[in-house]
Structure 1
Amino acid sequence: FGVKTFQAEDEIAAITAVIGASFGGSLAVTASSGPGIALKGEAIGLAVMTELPLVIIDVQRGGPSTGLPTKTEQSDLFISVLGRNGDCPVPVIAAQSPADCFTMAQEALRIAVEFMTPVFLLTDGYIANGAEPWPVPKAADLKPLAIRHPAKPNREGEYLPYLRDDRLVRPWAIPGTPGLEHRIGGLEKAEDTGDVSYDPDNHHRMTMIRKQKVENIAQAIPEQTVMGPSEGDLLVVSWGGTYGAVRAAVERCQHRGRSVAHAHLRYLNPFPRNLGDLLRRYRKVLVPELNTGQLRFLLRANFLVDAQGLNKIKGKPFLVGELVEKMESMLG
Structure 2
Amino acid sequence: DAPYSIQPARLKPGKYRNVTGNSALALGLIAAAQKAGLRMFCGSYPITPASDILHELSKYRRFQLTTFQAEDEIAAISAAIGASFAGALGVTGSSGPGIALKTEAMGLALMTELPLVIINVQRGGPSTGLPTKTEQSDLFQAVYGRNGECPIPVLAARSPADCFETAYEACRIAIDCRTPVILLSDGSLANGSEPWLLPDVNSLPKIDPDFATDPAGFMPYKRDEKLARPWAIPGTPGLEHRIGGLEKDALTGNISYDAQNHEKMVRTRAEKVRRIADRLEPTEPFFDPAGDVLVIGWGGTYGSITQAVIEARQTGLRVGHVHLRHVFPLPNDLTDVAARYRNVLIPELNMGQLRFHLRGQLGLESVGLNKIQGKPFHVAEVRSAIESLARRKHLPAEQEIA
Calculate the TM-score normalised by the size of structure 2. Answer: 0.80
> Are 1:10 and 2:72 counterparts?
yes
Gap regions ≥5 residues in structure 2: 1-62, 392-402
Separation of aligned partners in 1, 2:324 and 2:109: 25
Structure-to-structure mapping, 1:56-135, within 5 angstroms: 56-135=118-197
Give the one of 366, 370, 393 matched to 1:311.
Answer: 370
SS of the equivalent of 2:311 reads helix
Greater displacement, 133-142 / 158-167? 133-142
Shift of 1:301: 1.3
Separation of aligned partners in 2, 1:158 and 1:323: 58
Shift of 1:220: 2.2
Gap regions ≥5 residues in structure 1: none
Separation of aligned partners in 1, 2:262 and 2:114: 19
> Are 1:331 and 2:390 counterparts?
yes
Give the one of 42, 49, 54 matched to 2:104.
Answer: 42
Counterpart in the other structure of 1:165: 224
Shift of 1:285: 0.4
Partner amino acid for 1:17?
A
Partner amino acid for 1:43?
A
Shift of 1:141: 4.4
SS of the equivalent of 1:132 reads strand
Separation of aligned partners in 2, 1:138 and 1:283: 41
Partner amino acid for 2:355?
R
> Are 1:249 and 2:308 counterparts?
yes
Shift of 1:139: 4.1
SS of the equivalent of 2:205 reads coil
Counterpart in the other structure of 1:268: 327
Partner amino acid for 2:221?
Y
Counterpart in the other structure of 2:395: none
Shift of 1:280: 1.6
SS of the equivalent of 1:104 reads helix
Query: How many matched pairs?
Result: 329
SS of the equivalent of 1:70 reads coil
Separation of aligned partners in 2, 1:111 and 1:273: 17
Counterpart in the other structure of 1:179: 238
Shift of 1:140: 4.1
CA displacement 1:211-270 (0-9 Å, x = unmatched): 000000012222222012222111000000000000000011111110111111111011
Separation of aligned partners in 2, 1:303 and 1:231: 19
> Are 1:280 and 2:335 counterparts?
no
> Are 1:228 and 2:290 counterparts?
no
Shift of 1:120: 0.5
Separation of aligned partners in 1, 2:364 and 2:105: 34
- Do the aligned partners of 1:280 and 1:305 also contact (CA within 8 Å) in 2? no
Counterpart in the other structure of 2:298: 239
Separation of aligned partners in 2, 1:324 and 1:172: 49
CA displacement 1:163-190 (0-9 Å, x = unmatched): 0012211110000000000011101111
Give the one of 88, 110, 115 matched to 1:53.
Answer: 115
SS of the equivalent of 2:121 reads strand
Partner amino acid for 2:292?
D
Same amino acid, percent of matched pairs: 59
Shift of 1:143: 3.5
Separation of aligned partners in 2, 1:140 and 1:276: 35
Separation of aligned partners in 2, 1:281 and 1:142: 33
Calculate the TM-score normalised by the size of structure 1. Answer: 0.97
- Do the aligned partners of 1:158 and 1:180 also contact (CA within 8 Å) in 2? no
Separation of aligned partners in 2, 1:138 and 1:279: 34
Supply the RMSD in Å over aligned alpha carbons.
1.1
Greater displacement, 122-131 / 276-285? 276-285
Greater displacement, 245-254 / 217-226? 217-226
Separation of aligned partners in 1, 2:90 and 2:333: 31
